[in-house]
Structure 1
Amino acid sequence: MSLHTAKALLFLRISIGALMLVWGADKFANPEHGVRVAERFYFGLLASDQAMPVLGALQLLMGVLVVVGALRRFVYPALAVVTGITLLGVWRSIIDPWGWMLEGANALFFPSLIIFAAVLVLIAVRDTDRIALQPYSKGDRGP
């Protein structure tokens, strides 16, 4: 892998990890916001002030692990689940970003598709990522 590719992959990892850090911090700073989001987009699952700090802590941990490139074999699939659930939660905005046919759509949520795609890229190339806390060795390809 070229140094330019390695740096681009590092930037992708840092930006996706930073997103998890922002989402996690929001659950601590404004748990009511997290509850409203859960109620609106996730059928009210885990929509409680008590759940938000726990979810926030998990997202903060995930964000740090993604940024530093640690435990990628486990963290990246978990990250795909989190961003995939988010993608499903805003599906109207993916199909109809301007809300011409589907009520409740918002073009600002369209990048959820790009975020999910970026996570899939991280999974696909994780064995070539060399600027990380735990660079992969040839024998550690994992699922």
Structure 2
Amino acid sequence: MRKALGLLLLRVSLGGLLLVWGVNKIVNVDHSLAIADNFYAGFLSSEFLLPLWGVSQLVIGLLVIIGLARRWVYPLQLVINGASLLAVFPSVIDPWGWFLEGTNVLFYPSSIILAASLVMMAFRDEDRLALDARRKSRPSTWVGRHQCGQVVRQR
């Protein structure tokens, strides 16, 4: 049960981060434009595109939190978190700015976020509290022996 609870907390916190980033892109477009220009070389730096990307992040974040479509959503989350890590990578390798200018120790957790995303992907099949874990199909051996509600006798 501890593993399931740990994976649930990981899902909620990582999905919550995507929610926060998504909401920021929708309600604080000027701040998001500055971030896109400063850290992402202007990628998606548009008053039209950033809110759309924010809505996408909201949807992905909600799916991560409830644990639905994890096979597709976890890799998307990993790409988003990986891009964020790459954007602030100088701050990860030199958080105090001893060798590189413009770094910030507050960006160091980006490496932890990426590692947490990898852990969630690695243990996806063991997350029993995810919504889609409860919707798993029957094993093929069960399906092969049951047709139209009747057990097929094997010879």
What TM bracket, shorter-length normalisation? Answer: over 0.9
Query: How far, CA to CA, are the matches of 1:35 and 1:8 in structure 2?
Result: 35
- Which of the residues 23, 26, 31 maps onto 1:25? 23
Cα displacement (A) at 1:118: 0.2
Query: How far, CA to CA, are the matches of 1:4 and 1:59 in structure 2?
Result: 28
1:72 maps to which residue? 70
Cα displacement (A) at 1:29: 1.1
2:11 maps to which residue? 13
Cα displacement (A) at 1:133: 0.8
Percent identity (aligned): 49
**CA deviation profile, 1:57-88 (whole Å, cap 9, x unmatched):** 00000010000000000000000000000000
Which consecutive unaligned segments of at least 5 residues does structure 1 have?
none
Q: Structure 2-normalised TM-score? A: 0.86
Q: Structure 1-normalised TM-score? A: 0.93
- Which of the residues 71, 87, 90 maps onto 1:89? 87
- Which of the residues 94, 110, 119 maps onto 2:108? 110
- What is the RMSD of the two structures over their aligned residues, measured on CA atoms? 1.2
**CA deviation profile, 1:14-62 (whole Å, cap 9, x unmatched):** 0000000000000111011111111011111111111111010000000
Q: Does 1:126 align with 2:124?
A: yes
Which consecutive unaligned segments of at least 5 residues does structure 2 have?
140-155
Query: How far, CA to CA, are the matches of 2:118 and 2:21 in structure 1?
Result: 19
Query: How far, CA to CA, are the matches of 1:45 and 1:12 in structure 2?
Result: 28
Greater Cα radius of gyration, structure 1 or 2:
2
Query: How far, CA to CA, are the matches of 1:53 and 1:43 in structure 2?
Result: 18
- Alignment coverage as a number of residue pairs: 137
Cα displacement (A) at 1:132: 1.1
Query: How far, CA to CA, are the matches of 1:108 and 1:68 in structure 2?
Result: 28
